[in-house]
């Protein structure tokens, strides 16, 4: 406990990332290491979500986006998909009170039409019941993929050009961004992936163009508050140059 507090104190509150995105990976391996079914790992991953959301909100992070289910995850065995959907329903339902107590707004991104009816109902209820909260936004990426989101944006823009309500010259990066699922969100400054995999698996492809990436071997069900602090401290030691030279960045600070 003492150690956790120490690590938290090393986080520079003045230079917090406003938006952190996490690829919560390694649930299946965590369960298999214990001789259990993969779903046991997903169940234990819920506590990590709780801890991470709490830690982020306590620090003052404004947006936390969690990759909970990718478009590609629909291709997993039917039993695992069903178990994950069932877990989502239960978890969302159980957490509404805690979210409200902590003033956290739940949001969702992804191809939500694809979700089971029950999941959609629970989700919409939670989105609605937490919509007035303002301390932090907890965004669940569900049935989400970055390429899907970009293609949807391209289709919407193409429709408008065809209808004559948008001209080609108006299409800029800024305008394109406004066609993303949750356009008001700033791009994540920090992306964390657990489980030792070094890839982004189709997550937030547009938004992470200049995001700092942090990889940890920890499996998601083992991820705790101090792991989030560690990732943020690591991020705060980096120099974000956005194509400029180091000298330019240092001079700007002065």
Which residue's C-beta sits nearest to Mg ion?
25
With CB under 5 A as the rule, give the number of residues binding Mg ion.
1
Identity of the residue, 29 or 50, whose beta carbon is nearer to ligand IPE in the bound complex: 29
> Is 27 in the active site?
no
Catalytic choice (12, 25, 93, 103)? 25
Identity of the residue, 176 or 215, whose beta carbon is nearer to ligand IPE in the bound complex: 215
CA neighbor of 83 nearest in space, from 124, 28, 131? 28
> Is 73 in the active site?
yes
Identity of the residue, 91 or 157, whose beta carbon is nearer to ligand IPE in the bound complex: 91
Helical spans, DSSP H, in 10-137: 27-33, 38-59, 78-101, 117-129
Identity of the residue, 201 or 236, whose beta carbon is nearer to ligand IPE in the bound complex: 201
In the region spanning residues 22 to 41, those forming contacts with Mg ion, defined by CB under 5 A, are: 25
Cβ atoms of residues 107 and 139 within 8 Å: yes
| Closest CB 247 distance from Mg ion, rounded Å | 41
| Closest CB 92 distance from Mg ion, rounded Å | 21
Place of tokens 């030691």: 237
Three-state SS at 222: helix
Three-state SS at 26: coil
Token pair listed for 38: 């993969």
From the list Mg ion, ligand IPE, none, partner contacted by residue 73 (C-beta under 5 to 8 A by kind): ligand IPE
Catalytic choice (6, 9, 27, 73)? 73
| Closest CB 57 distance from ligand IPE, rounded Å | 21
Binding footprint of ligand IPE on the chain (CB under 6 A): 23-29, 67-70, 72-73, 84, 195, 197, 199, 201, 220
Place of tokens 């390429």: 147
From the list Mg ion, ligand IPE, none, partner contacted by residue 29 (C-beta under 5 to 8 A by kind): ligand IPE
Dist. CA 100–CA 192, nearest whole Å: 26
Dist. CA 138–CA 53, nearest whole Å: 7
Positions of E strands within the chain? 19-23, 63-70, 104-109, 136-144, 190-193, 212-215
- DSSP 8-state code for residue 184: T
Identity of the residue, 11 or 223, whose beta carbon is nearer to ligand IPE in the bound complex: 223
From the list ligand IPE, Mg ion, none, partner contacted by residue 56 (C-beta under 5 to 8 A by kind): none
> Cα-flanking dihedrals φ and ψ of residue 138, to 5°?
-105, 110
User: Which residues are tagged catalytic?
Assistant: 25, 73
Residues near Mg ion (CB under 5 A) = 25
């Amino acid at each position: 406990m003492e150690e956790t507090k120490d690590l938290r104190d090393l986080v520079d509150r003045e230079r917090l990332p406003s938006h952190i995105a996490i690829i919560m990976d390694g649930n299946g391996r965590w369960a298999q290491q214990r001789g259990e079914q993969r779903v046991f790992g997903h169940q234990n991953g819920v506590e990590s979500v709780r801890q991470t959301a709490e830690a982020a909100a306590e620090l003052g992070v404004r947006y936390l986006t969690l990759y909970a289910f990718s478009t590609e995850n629909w291709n997993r065995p039917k039993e695992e998909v069903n178990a994950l959907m069932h877990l989502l329903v239960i978890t969302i339902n159980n957490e509404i009170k805690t979210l409200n107590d902590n003033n956290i707004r739940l949001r969702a991104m992804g191809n939500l039409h694809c979700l089971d009816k029950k999941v959609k109902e629970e989700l919409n209820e939670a989105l609605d019941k937490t919509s007035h909260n303002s301390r932090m936004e907890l965004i669940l990426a569900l049935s989400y993929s970055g390429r899907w989101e970009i293609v949807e944006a391209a289709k919407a823009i193409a429709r408008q050009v065809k209808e004559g309500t948008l001209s080609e010259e108006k299409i800029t990066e800024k305008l394109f961004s406004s066609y993303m699922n949750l356009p008001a969100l700033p791009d994540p400054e920090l992306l964390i992936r657990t489980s030792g995999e070094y890839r982004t698996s189709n997550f937030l492809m547009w938004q992470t163009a200049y995001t700092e990436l942090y990889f940890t071997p920890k499996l998601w069900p083992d991820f705790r508050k101090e792991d989030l602090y560690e990732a943020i401290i690591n991020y705060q030691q980096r120099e974000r140059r956005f194509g400029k030279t180091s000298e330019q960045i240092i001079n700007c600070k002065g």
